[in-house]
Chain A
């Protein structure tokens, strides 16, 4: 079972050195325990571009696809046996990156 752990942030502030160090430690734990699939931090939402080619004529728009109070600042994709394991990892991840984390299962 794979879960997306989305890191939510009110602004596009990057992680502090302390947060980075805690995230590295957490990532190492994910790898050694076999939970690691992928992770990444994202650039600020105003660097985003939206492409819409649903009707065959690609429309390119500057900016994030929706205005929101909170943005996706980064994410982990983890492998976990069930939601309890995923929630426990998300709890440690939230502490490490010092931000709220949304846990959502893949299909």
Chain B
């Protein structure tokens, strides 16, 4: 067994098993902190042992058993502090690992706990990425542009509150479900976006594990309401373009320049089917359904030039009424540039300068519009700003290439 094989097996097992193991341990020991730490220790043990001892025949089982032992060790160490309930629980449930059939329920419970409304919004995302997504605290800190110890404290505080206030580890009741699902969708969308446009200098530009996990978790929420379907369709239609989105040299390829033959037709077909299914209900769409419809229009065009921009602008008009945020206005402006020209779009974009000053996509959009208007000097400044703020390696490469293509500055 060589180190490369063991490393690949650990990566695979991390993707496939992390959330399941955390969820199973959380259920068994009733403590997210112990579940997370013991799972992390089990993976660390695998990193030490597998290259030397070989990959076990059932990596998931090995990791679960190791994590369970670590959890029990820790509880014994903390016996004086551990409450009676936990001791009783361990005695009562010392059985074998969870059967496979219970996996999804456990993960679903875990995600509802991580996304509980009694936790601060930023803590929900961080906890979900840590406990369900299996990202390290350092990765999450990078994704949200905060110091690692700040993110660590945020996660620790959230876990302490879950334990002390007894935030339940279960799927909410039917009466509470719609509100709780909407909170979970917001978190899953953030997880998906972090996977689709990963941040960090040493991070893959697309983290398929995160996008796949977000899609998988969204599926487990079906068919709670139309927005779940909308978000799933949106993710599928976005994910369908992933291979066309990064060039061989690691540069981001904008939608208009993508090789549409490389899009995944099965994902597009499913996404279109879901969008049509929602349209057929005649119910007023929420934001995810509208965004899914926008992406359905994009993926219906065989060639970028065939895109029905009028329909996209109409959909964004609808979205602006639901969500008059500057980011929606920015995305609408991108479509307006295609319909009415970059000068019209730039007028809108310039009005968003204040709220979006720290947002890389604002500067990237503005740079692109200025470039198309031949205002190279201003475009260069906007590209500089966008590159400074962008955290995704492929996007940085794309912006750098575009900047290099500008007319040279006057001598």
Contacts and interface: CB of A to CB of B under 8 A. Distances in A.
Chain A interface main SS type: mixed
Contacts of A24: none
B166 interface: yes
Contact of B167 (A3, A83, A107): A83
B179 to A, nearest CB: 12
Interface in A7-47: none
B56 interface: no
B201 interface: no
A84 B176 contact: yes
Interface string B169-199: 0001100100000000000000000000000
Interface string A66-89: 000000000000000111101100
Interface residues of B, number: 10
A84 B116 CA distance: 9
Interface in B92-127: 116, 118
B124 to A, nearest CB: 14
Contacts of A1: 166
Contacts of B164: 105, 107
Interface centre among A84, A86, A107 (most CB of B within 10 A): A84
A107 B165 CA distance: 9
B166 A82 contact: yes
A104 B118 CA distance: 11
26 contacts: A1-B166, A3-B165, A81-B166, A81-B168, A82-B166, A82-B167, A82-B168, A83-B116, A83-B118, A83-B165, A83-B166, A83-B167, A83-B168, A84-B167, A84-B168, A84-B172, A84-B173, A84-B176, A86-B165, A87-B118, A103-B165, A104-B165, A105-B164, A105-B165, A105-B166, A107-B164
